[in-house]
Amino acid sequence: MNWQAAVESTVTGLGYELVDCERSPKGLLRVYIDRVANDPAGEYIVVEDCERVTRQLQHVLEVEGIAYERLEVSSPGLDRPLKTAAHYARFAGQEVEVTLVAAFKGRKKYKGLLEALGEGWRLVFNDGKVEQALDFSLGEVKEARLVPVVDFKGKRFQSQPANDAAGAQAEADETDGDRKQ
């Protein structure tokens, strides 16, 4: 079994998606994993997921006699790469950055909303003047990544607008009342 097949069968066997794997000439084996779409265990990869895959990969690689110096298992990150048609389908409707193999209208990089388009894909973007659409196939893409979205909805204290001082004071009074009880 070659190293790529060993990694893929191990990762998928543990119930994760193999996003990408790479091997450097200095013996580094880097593996990117993600949750399978609609996984009830959660939305994001956590440290425990990476530890679980690392332990299993260490055993499999040893048994298969696949040499490596260092093994790194991680999530694909907020700017997750899109490699397969399944990745594009999963993230349709989200903002992505696409780098084309060949320039189109003098540009290779485009950022916009990804849409499925029959056999291909469409990127809807604003060029600063008007909304436009770029239709493309996966063969025309050099690289595609999700545009990171950082959401602080869970943050308890948010800054109040200057003109909403009365609302902030009412909220503070409510909090003080809770402490006195």
d(CA 97, CA 142): 11
**Within-domain flag for 160:** no
- What is the reported pLDDT for 43? 76
Residues 67 and 95 both lie in one domain: no
pLDDT the model gives residue 37: 76
Q: Has residue 140 been placed in a domain?
A: yes
Q: Is 104 in the same domain as 67?
A: no
Is 166 part of any domain? no
Q: Is 177 exposed, middle or buried (0-12, 13-18, 19+ CB in 10 A)?
A: exposed
Give residue 25's pLDDT.
87
Q: Give domain status of residue 176, yes or no.
A: no
Residues of the chain with pLDDT under 50: 157-181
Is 179 contained in some domain?
Answer: no
Residue 101 shares a structural domain with residue 127: yes
Domain tally, the chain: 2
**Position 34 in a domain:** yes
- Report the pLDDT value the prediction gives residue 28, as an integer from 0 to 100: 95
Give a yes or no: residue 31 inside a domain: yes
Both 40 and 64 in a single domain? Answer: yes
Q: Is residue 175 part of a domain?
A: no
State whether 58 and 107 are in the same domain.
no
Which of 45, 74, 103 is at the close of a domain?
74
Q: Do residues 66 and 111 share a domain?
A: no
Q: 3-state SS string over the chain?
A: CCHHHHHHHHHHHCCEEEEEEEECCCCEEEEEEEECCCCCCCCCCCHHHHHHHHHHHHHHHHHHCCCCCEEEEECCCCCCECCCHHHHHHCCCCEEEEEEEEEECCEEEEEEEEEEECCEEEEEEECCCCEEEEEECHHHEEEEEECCCCCCCCCCCCCCCHHHHHHHHHHHHHHHHHHHC
Residue 23, both tokens: 């091997």
Range of the domain at 34: 3-74
Shared-domain flag, residues 59 and 104: no
- Dump pLDDT digits (tens) for 20-64: 999 998 899 999 999 987 776 667 899 999 999 999 999 999 999
